[in-house]
Amino acid sequence: MASAQTVEDLRRLEIEILQFHQVCQMQAALEDHDTSTIDQTTLESLDIHIGQPLDIDEKGVWDFGTTFFQPWVPREVIKASAEDSEFKWMDRLITILRPVEWKYGYCKAQWFHLCLGTLYEMDPNLWDPWNIDPTTIYLETALRQPMRRIVFYNDENEEIFREYHPEAAYFPVDVTKPHVASLVIDSHEAPGDKVLRSEVDYAIAMVLFRLKYRLHTNHHTKPAMIYTLERDQFARVTQVHYDGKTNKLVLRQSRHLDLRGPRPTEDAFTLLRWMTSRPVGDTEYVDEAEEDEEDSTTPDSSNTAPKLLVGCA
């Protein structure tokens, strides 16, 4: 007779497989939308929910149940680390020829890479940064980072090109952590309440990455963070996880960060601070025996796998 823990492990695996197939369906449905932004109606049709705004300015009460990345480097340290990197800050791209769209964000990204190289040395046991081409990242880690070129026409019937592609990936040094993060360059600036297609594409791809390889089955939540540079002007941070209760992807987005100006802005330092965040949060299942010891009486705890019936072969 199988032990209670064995049955629970099988149940968690069954849940993970179901979630993987559901997110695969989201990915297939997204392919029908070849636009640079995604509106609320389309998000709902994809089973994607926009949650509470990400408190990027840290003005509220911290909640480890809904926020899975925690800034820890003091702001003055962030600023000090950037003092020798200001020469890398590019306010505008100067070239004789019209550059490809992604080049704007690429130039801005070099400043972040330089600063992060110093900041990650403060705690080398947090993140393993991969600032290399996406093909190598995929071959070495199995993380497939999306890229896309979109063509549309403006009101004057002029052909407009927009594109997005990966700039870097970040993996926890502690491989037991289910977290993952990406730096993305998008040549489009998100208008109003719309979400960039790249943010949705990456949200799906990064959650699929953790679900597909089943290395963190003992975690009910596998969070990802997306740092998006919108051209070289703005940025936004998006936290994503799959909610097993609603069977939806939940996106929590920050306000738009302003990167405009001849020198690094306060918002640029804010983004740097979040890019050095610790992976945190209540992501792991709690075994029933542990719950009993803690006198937990909540029948629908998010830390307990739903009671699915697991069939026997």
CB atoms within 10 A of CB 180: 21
Task: Report how far residue 124's alpha carbon sits from residue 173's, in angstroms, rounded to the nearest whole number.
Answer: 8
Specify the pLDDT at position 291: 52
pLDDT band at 13 (very low <50, low <70, confident <90, very high): very high
Residue 181 has pLDDT above 70, yes or no: yes
Residue 161 has pLDDT above 80, yes or no: no
Domain boundaries, the chain: 4-293
Residue 146 has pLDDT above 60, yes or no: yes
Are the CB atoms for 163 and 102 separated by under 8 Å? yes
- The tens digit of pLDDT for each residue in 272-292 reads 999 999 999 999 998 765 555
Between 24-38, 95-109, 152-166, the lowest mean confidence (pLDDT) is in 95-109
pLDDT band at 308 (very low <50, low <70, confident <90, very high): very low
- The tens digit of pLDDT for each residue in 76-87 reads 999 998 887 766
- Sequence-ordered list of residues with C-beta below 8 angstroms from that of 273, at least 6 positions apart, any chain: 71, 73, 75, 78
Token readout for 201 is 């594409």
Between 66-75, 98-107, 118-127, 214-223, the lowest mean confidence (pLDDT) is in 98-107
- Residue 14's φ and ψ, nearest 5 degrees, are -60, -40
Q: If you average pLDDT over every residue of the chain, what do you get?
A: 86
Beta strands at 180-186 and 224-230: parallel, antiparallel or unpaired: parallel
Specify the pLDDT at position 312: 33
Task: Report how far residue 106's alpha carbon sits from residue 185's, in angstroms, rounded to the nearest whole number.
Answer: 7
Residue 94 has pLDDT above 80, yes or no: no
Residue 302 has pLDDT above 50, yes or no: no
Q: Work out the burial of residue 210: count CB atoms within 10 Å of its CB; fewer than 13 is exposed, 13-18 middle, 19 or more buried.
A: buried
Specify the pLDDT at position 288: 64
Mean pLDDT of 227-238: 94
Task: Report how far residue 249's alpha carbon sits from residue 65's, in angstroms, rounded to the nearest whole number.
Answer: 15
Specify the pLDDT at position 281: 92
Token readout for 155 is 């009101």
Task: Report how far residue 166's alpha carbon sits from residue 209's, in angstroms, rounded to the nearest whole number.
Answer: 15
Residue 90 has pLDDT above 70, yes or no: no
Specify the pLDDT at position 35: 86
Query: Nearest 5 degrees, angle CA 131-CA 136-CA 141?
Result: 90
CB atoms within 10 A of CB 276: 22
Task: Report how far residue 128's alpha carbon sits from residue 170's, in angstroms, rounded to the nearest whole number.
Answer: 6
Specify the pLDDT at position 156: 79
